A and B are shown apart, each in its own frame.
Chain A
Amino acid sequence: VSEHHDQGPKYTPEEVRSSRRYFAEFGGAMLGYVVLLPSAILLIRELPEWRLGLALLPVAPLALALMAVLRFLRRMDEFNRQLQLEAIGFAFGGGVMATMTYGLLEALAGLPRISWTWVPVVFLSLLGLGTGVARRRYR
């Protein structure tokens, strides 16, 4: 019996269904974001007095993305949920460290101020890295 046969297909049909549903829900939310962000920018130009509300327009699809992530986590089996917990723990702790470190460098060492929108980029990159680390640990 070859190693390949011993393992069988990489994903069970249930996992494939779950992933497809996640990508549909998350992708739909992201599509909403890329449509609403330029719309908000254009609308603010026309209606600057409404800019506070209009700037929050792209947040709605982000909330949908959050729901998609939480639903995906709840569909996972116990082992994958543990794996994700380790990855999210790594990303959260690492993200706090990274943003605090830069905050100190900004405040005390005079490094340039950067936009808050970099914060999710930091956390999401660390989540990707953390997932890789956790997967490797259990291989």
Chain B
Amino acid sequence: VRNILKVLRAGRDWSQADLAERLGVSRQTINALESGKYDPSLPLAFKLARLFSLPIESIFDPDE
């Protein structure tokens, strides 16, 4: 699953650690999400969507 988290985060001028703290996860988790090596659980994906006020499907895109 691809995502645009890095772009969204840059738009808010947050560091990975800033975003991590807002979500209650670690900085390594943000790093793994952004590099596409880890797909979040549904609760974490909803948290992200709420934080950026976007629907989940505009943040995450399943690989074709």
Contacts and interface: CB of A to CB of B under 8 A. Distances in A.
A15 interface: yes
Interface residues of A, number: 23
Contact of B26 (A1, A5, A12, A137): A12
Nearest to B19: A8
22 contacts: A1-B10, A7-B15, A7-B16, A7-B27, A9-B15, A9-B17, A10-B17, A11-B17, A12-B17, A12-B26, A14-B21, A14-B24, A77-B24, A77-B26, A78-B25, A78-B29, A79-B29, A79-B33, A80-B29, A82-B38, A83-B28, A135-B28
Interface of B: 10, 15-18, 20-21, 24-29, 31-33, 35, 37-38, 40-41, 44
